[in-house]
């Protein structure tokens, strides 16, 4: 449980509901462990007296307590006699069962309700903290973790951890009171009647139950880790399939995907069974210990002077001693599962921040101008295998720079270093002379607008999707940005106009419409640096013309970086950089490169064979 202690801080917001739930649980535990045996021992004799003669019901008596060991006499002598007159016995017999069960039922309900309230709030905080951590991690983290597995950690593993923090904690605090109640009743009877000492001795079996709990706990921990990892793989296959419906149907992969999913489900099913096997093994083992204890107790009292009612009450109390033990054994298994889930969560919570903000940030100089320089930059996702090598280039404010080269030559990686999606391995990237690692991420990225090949629109209104470019922008500013992006006309033609939902990832819009909404977002941001990552490569000719017109206006006066496979989209570039194998092998205008760079000439002529 020590591993969970740091997460108990989440209970601070719900400390009173949680404390109230615990108090109600304690009441339920005492009512079960002591109240039920006490009720059985008093109600049955009252309703069915020996010889049919009703006598006053003695609850406490100094005569009975006088049989206690001598060292207890100073204490027992101070307890007054308590008995119920004959005329009230029937009333007691009729009231005691409903009162006892009412206390148990109401306290159990209050305990469950208050703890579920606290549990839901804790789950909300744990999930939010995990999600917030994911938002702060660099892009390299997502290259190494499947999205489905991350979803499994946020949704499934956090729920398991919540169960430990709230439900298991509740039982750890409550079950001992049930056990204590039963032990107290057996002890109470042993003080009054020496024949019951055998029952008291049978409680010595309880410590032996720790042995199967420890054995099973180790097995559950190991199997739970495998089961949760398999759950992540299952979610990954599911997520991948749901995100690729067109490709699956286009290539007739439905049967293949079903078989992949079935294989993952079978693997998960097998691991679940192993966890269940060890979980459910514990209860019968503890019951064997319980049966041994009760058998020993019966052997001890056989032939004694105890009446039937006393025996029934004592067996009930003894059962109340072993029932919490079974429950605590189950809690041990749940804690082991929680440890497995917590380990997966902490892989995210404790993941290193590889792109940190500086401890003492410096403001970026230069106002709305943006001079970007790469100074002897080398970078590799794996430092031992550089993707970019010895990049040295300076881009003036307002300059439009196009990046061309074969796939895998380093263009996108070059672009990703500007907003610090990754940090360079060697060298530095500067903005207006300041190393971008010395500025806060928020300050740096507020100066950059990005329009990618597949722009991401959220399942929100078109108005709100554009507003993401500059939160707090006025309605008029959003409309003006859409007009400049050639998006206002098609938005106004929609039935819901600006309140139209874009759909998941913008699926309710065409490719050209999505691009124009993304461009409107960039217009609204009005950042001095603009990155266009193959912004028109997936569009048809008509859509490309409309988007290109919007981009021509958007790039005016901004330091612009364009990745393009279509050479028609970089006609206005002031400089073109040619990438080959992670290096810039040539730089210049179109005319200069066509004459001097074989790599550029080949790429260009492939799109213009007539020339």
Dist CA 508 CA 489 (whole Å) = 16
What is the SS3 assignment for 515? helix
Residue pair 459/504 in contact (Cβ under 8 Å)? The answer is: yes
Q: Which residues contact 77 (CB under 8 A, 6 or more apart)?
A: 62, 65
Distances (CA, A) of 507 to 110, 147, 460, 500, 501: 47, 20, 12, 12, 10
Contacts of 533 (CB under 8 A, 6+ apart): 412, 415, 450, 451, 452, 453, 563
- Sequence-ordered list of residues with C-beta below 8 angstroms from that of 316, at least 6 positions apart, any chain: 36, 37, 40
Residue of 165, 160, 156 whose CA lies nearest to 14: 165
On whether the CB atoms of residues 515 and 542 are closer than 8 A, the answer is no
- Provide the CB-side half-sphere exposure for 154 (13 A, CA): 16
Query: What domains can be seen in the chain, in order of their start residue?
Result: 2-349 (1.20.1560.10), 370-447+531-540+559-611 (3.40.50.300), 455-526 (3.40.50.300)
Residue 329 CB coordination number (10 Å) = 22
Count the neighbouring beta carbons within 10 Å of the beta carbon of residue 571.
Answer: 10
Residue closest to 317 by CA, chosen among 36, 30, 58, 43:
36
Structure tokens at 398: 């307002």
**What are the start-end ranges of the H helices in 455-540?**
462-467, 475-484, 488-493, 511-525
- Specify the long-range contacts of residues 9-16, CB closer than 8 Å, at least 24 apart: 10/121, 10/122, 10/125, 10/126, 10/165, 11/118, 11/122, 11/165, 11/166, 13/121, 13/125, 14/117, 14/118, 14/121, 14/122
With contact defined as beta carbons under 8 Å apart, do 400 and 555 qualify? yes
User: Half-sphere exposure of 173 toward its Cβ, with a 13 Å CA cutoff?
Assistant: 18
Q: Tokens 């286009």, residue?
A: 250
Q: Quick one: residue 398, left, alpha or beta (phi over 0 = left, psi -120 to 50 = alpha)?
A: left
Q: Could you tell me the mean pLDDT of each successive run of 10 residues in the chain, 611 residues long?
A: 74 85 83 71 67 64 56 58 70 78 86 83 84 83 81 84 76 72 68 61 62 72 80 80 71 79 84 78 71 69 63 68 69 79 86 84 86 93 87 91 87 91 92 92 89 83 90 90 87 90 84 86 89 68 69 83 78 86 88 85 72 46
For 69-114, write each residue's pLDDT tens digit: 555 556 555 666 667 777 777 777 777 778 888 888 898 888 888 8
Contact assessment for residue 351 and residue 137, using Cβ atoms and an 8 Å cutoff? yes
Location of structure tokens 């977002």: 521
Place of tokens 């744990």: 126
Q: Going edge to edge, which strands form the sheet with 426-431?
A: 388-395, 372-379, 426-431, 434-435
Is pTM beyond 0.85? Reply is no
pLDDT at site 611: 46
Checking DSSP bridges between strand 426-431 and strand 372-379, what pairing results, if any?
antiparallel
Do strands 388-395 and 559-563 pair parallel, antiparallel, or not at all (unpaired)? unpaired
Rg (C-alpha) for the chain, rounded Å, is 37
- DSSP symbol at 501: B
137: nearest Cα among 445, 443, 354, 383: 354
| List of E strands, 253-395 | 372-379, 388-395
| Structure letter (DSSP) for residue 9 | G
For residues 478 and 487, the answer to whether their CB atoms sit within 8 Å is no
110 and 24 Cβ atoms separated by less than 8 Å: yes
Q: Which two tokens stand for residue 153?
A: 């950690």
pLDDT in the model for residue 396: 92
């Amino acid at each position: 449980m020590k591993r969970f202690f740091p997460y108990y801080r989440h209970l601070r917001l719900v400390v009173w509901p949680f404390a109230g739930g615990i108090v109600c649980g304690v009441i339920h535990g005492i009512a079960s462990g002591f109240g039920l045996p006490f009720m059985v021992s008093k109600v049955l004799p009252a309703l069915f007296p020996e010889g049919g003669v009703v006598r006053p019901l003695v609850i406490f008596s100094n005569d009975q307590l006088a049989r206690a060991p001598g060292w207890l006499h100073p204490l027992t002598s101070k307890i007054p006699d308590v008995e119920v007159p004959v005329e009230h016995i029937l009333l007691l017999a009729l009231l005691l069962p409903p009162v006892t069960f009412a206390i148990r039922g109401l306290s159990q309900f209050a305990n469950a309700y208050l703890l579920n309230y606290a549990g839901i709030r804790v789950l909300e905080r744990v999930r939010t903290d995990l999600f917030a951590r994911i938002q702060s991690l660099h892009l390299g983290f997502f290259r190494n973790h499947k999205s489905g597995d991350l979803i499994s950690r946020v949704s499934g593993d956090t729920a398991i951890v919540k169960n430990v923090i709230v439900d298991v904690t509740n039982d750890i605090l409550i079950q001992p009171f049930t056990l204590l109640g039963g032990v107290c009743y057996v002890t109470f009877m042993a003080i009054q009647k020496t024949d019951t000492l055998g029952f008291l001795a049978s409680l010595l079996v309880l410590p032996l139950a720790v042995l199967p709990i420890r054995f099973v706990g180790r097995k559950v921990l190991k199997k739970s880790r495998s089961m949760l990892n398999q759950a992540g793989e299952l979610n990954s296959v599911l997520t991948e399939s749901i995100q690729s419906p067109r490709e699956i149907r286009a290539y007739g992969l439905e049967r293949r995907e079903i078989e992949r999913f079935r294989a993952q489900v079978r693997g998960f099913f097998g691991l679940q069974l192993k966890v269940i096997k060890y979980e459910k093994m514990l209860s019968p083992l503890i019951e064997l210990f319980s049966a041994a204890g009760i058998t020993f107790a019966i052997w001890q009292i056989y032939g004694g002077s105890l009446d039937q009612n006393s025996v029934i009450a004592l067996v009930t109390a003894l059962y109340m001693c072993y029932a919490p033990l079974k429950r605590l054994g189950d809690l041990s298994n749940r804690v082991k599962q929680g440890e497995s889930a917590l380990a997966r969560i902490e892989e995210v919570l404790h993941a290193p921040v590889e792109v940190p903000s500086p401890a003492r940030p410096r403001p970026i100089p230069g106002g709305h101008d943006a001079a970007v320089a790469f100074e002897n930059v080398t970078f590799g996702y794996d430092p031992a295998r550089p993707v970019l090598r010895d990049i040295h280039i300076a881009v003036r404010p307002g300059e439009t720079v196009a990046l061309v080269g074969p796939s895998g030559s380093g263009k996108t990686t070059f672009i990703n270093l500007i907003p610090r999606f990754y940090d360079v391995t060697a060298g530095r990237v500067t903005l207006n002379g300041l190393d971008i690692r010395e500025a806060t991420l928020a300050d740096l990225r507020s100066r950059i607008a990005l329009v990618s090949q597949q722009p991401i629109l959220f399942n929100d209104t078109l108005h709100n999707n554009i507003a993401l470019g500059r939160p707090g922008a006025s309605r008029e500013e959003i409309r003006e940005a859409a007009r400049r992006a050639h998006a206002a006309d098609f938005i106004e033609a929609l039935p819901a106009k600006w309140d139209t939902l874009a759909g998941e990832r913008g699926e309710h819009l065409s490719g050209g419409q999505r691009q124009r909404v993304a461009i409107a977002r960039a217009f609204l941001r009005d950042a001095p640096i603009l990155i266009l990552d193959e912004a028109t490569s997936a569009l048809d000719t008509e859509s490309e013309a409309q988007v290109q017109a919007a981009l021509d206006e958007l790039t005016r006066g901004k330091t612009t970086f364009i990745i393009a496979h279509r050479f028609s989209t970089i006609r206005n570039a002031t400089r073109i950089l040619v990438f080959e194998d992670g290096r810039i092998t040539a730089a210049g205008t179109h005319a200069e490169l066509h004459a001097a760079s074989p790599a550029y000439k080949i790429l260009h002529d492939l799109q213009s064979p007539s020339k």
